[in-house]
């Protein structure tokens, strides 16, 4: 008998960055992210347990994609003590991303959270558990997604998520993300994220290498300390609509710190590009001149995420089209916004 599951799961963008890990994908500092909407992965998996010919077939948009196999194999072997059917099953995985894979946007958060959802759902089917997923179920999925890619554990909650132990946040853990929507003012529930694609090239340095670099980074301890403080400050100011200036300065400082860490390790590297800096300059000028609260954050790459309240959407989008698209590869940018979390498709 074969089992089928299909889920849509979104990407997320960290405001307080996870950079540095220990053990099996456990974070050195807590992180906080917005859950996105337009940027997501749709995944379908078909599992035949107890087959005489266990195999793994990995497809992307219906076509074989062997380059995805190593990451999926290592994820499946990490979770096989929880899902005892894995070693004896035939598993076919097919996925597509809504954002072009060449867009330089990390797809591991959306793909690995989708995979965690599908595998957990299949396990529920095999064991005839058919209750409605509760809080514990989502926490469990988040912990499983973490094993695929740390940041993926934050993708399974609507609006925003916190991953990592914070003494003052009950239920927070290094092992899984928790939902944050209830703690944020409604302003942040409809926040916009326009992603300016500065380069579509593949990253030259993997995030694993970046995390590894933190193990002997001269600034590691002070970074973890600042990240903890920024997380508390951000949580505090996102509680109301009135501290948007503080929100913006923490977001931008976090983004630049991430890249400053890359530039100041033993084997330094630079992922931002001249156009990244041109955009940052334009953002600061525009904000000063217009008073519109638009700020930036960066992922581990040259692309710029512009964050702003929905009320300013049309003016910001026309400013982007007129003034910033010139810094984007082929003028390409993606209009995204805060999203409602994963959806079961089948």
Q: Which residues bind ligand PMV (CB under 6 A)?
A: 14, 17-19, 31, 106, 108, 149-151, 207, 258, 299-300
Of the pair 49, 265, the CB lying nearest ligand PMV is at 265
> Which single residue is written with the structure tokens 């000063």?
288
- In the three-class reduction of DSSP (H, G, I as helix; E, B as strand; rest coil), residue 137 is classed as helix
If the CB atoms of residues 116 and 122 are measured against ligand PMV, the closer one turns out to be 116
Q: Smallest gap, in angstroms, from Cβ of residue 49 to ligand PMV? A: 29
Q: Which of 275, 300, 101, 256 is nearest to 198 (CA)?
A: 275
Locate 175 and state its tokens: 């092992």
Min. distance of Cβ 221 from ligand PMV in angstroms? 19
Residue from 333, 334, 301, 326 nearest 106 by CA = 301
Nearer to ligand PMV, 260 or 345 (CB): 260
What is the closest distance, in whole angstroms, from the C-beta atom of residue 313 to ligand PMV in the complex? 24
Compute the least distance from the CB of residue 57 to ligand PMV, in Å: 24
**Which residue has 């695929």 as its token pair?**
148
Q: Which residues of 92-129 are buried (b: 16+ CB within 10 A; e: fewer)?
A: bbbbebbbeeebbbbbbbbbbbbbbbbbbbbbbebeee
Taking the least distance from each CB to ligand PMV, the nearer of 26 and 187 is 26
The answer to whether residues 295 and 102 touch, using CB atoms and an 8 Å cutoff, is no
Closest distance to ligand PMV from the beta carbon of 124 (Å):
25
For residue 50, what are the β-bridge partners?
none
* CB 149 to ligand PMV: min, Å: 4
Tokens, residue 44 = 């379908």
Helical H runs in 150-206? 186-189
Residue that is written with structure tokens 């953002």 in the block: 283
119 vs 298, beta carbon nearer ligand PMV: 298
CA distances from 107 to 75, 110, 222, 295 (A): 15, 6, 29, 23
* Cβ closest to ligand PMV, residue 149 vs residue 275: 149
- Cβ closer to ligand PMV: 153 or 328? 153
Closest separation in Å from C-beta 202 to ligand PMV: 14
């Amino acid at each position: 008998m074969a089992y089928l599951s299909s889920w849509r799961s979104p990407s997320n963008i960290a405001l307080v960055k996870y950079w540095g890990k220990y053990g099996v994908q456990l974070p050195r500092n807590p992180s906080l992210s917005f859950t996105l909407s337009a940027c997501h992965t749709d995944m379908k998996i078909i599992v035949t347990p107890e087959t005489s010919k266990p195999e793994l077939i990995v497809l992307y948009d219906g076509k074989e994609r062997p380059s995805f196999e190593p990451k999926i194999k290592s994820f499946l072997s990490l979770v096989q003590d929880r899902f005892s059917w894995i070693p004896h099953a035939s598993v076919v995985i097919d996925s597509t991303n809504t954002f072009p894979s060449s867009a330089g946007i990390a797809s591991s958060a959306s793909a690995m959270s989708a995979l965690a959802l599908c595998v957990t759902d299949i396990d529920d089917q095999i064991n005839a558990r058919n209750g409605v997923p509760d809080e514990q179920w989502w926490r469990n999925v988040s912990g499983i997604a973490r094993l695929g890619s740390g940041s993926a554990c934050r993708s399974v909650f609507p609006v925003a998520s916190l991953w990592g132990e914070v003494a003052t946040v009950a239920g927070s853990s290094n092992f899984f993300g928790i939902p944050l929507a209830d703690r944020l003012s409604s302003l942040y529930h409809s926040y916009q994220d326009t992603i300016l694609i500065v380069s579509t090239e593949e990253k030259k340095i993997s995030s694993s290498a970046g995390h590894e670099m933190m193990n002997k980074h001269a600034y590691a301890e002070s970074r973890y300390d600042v990240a903890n403080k920024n997380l508390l400050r951000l949580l505090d100011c996102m509680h109301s609509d009135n501290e948007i200036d503080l929100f913006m300065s923490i977001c931008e400082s976090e983004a630049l710190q991430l890249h400053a860490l890359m530039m100041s390790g033993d084997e330094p590297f630079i992922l931002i590009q001249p156009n990244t800096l041109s955009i940052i300059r334009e953002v600061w000028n525009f904000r000063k001149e217009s008073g519109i609260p638009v700020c930036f954050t960066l992922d581990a790459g040259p692309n710029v995420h512009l964050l702003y309240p929905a009320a300013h959407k049309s003016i910001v989008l026309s400013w982007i089209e007129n003034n910033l698209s010139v810094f984007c590869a082929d003028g390409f940018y993606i209009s995204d916004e805060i999203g409602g979390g994963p959806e079961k498709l089948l």
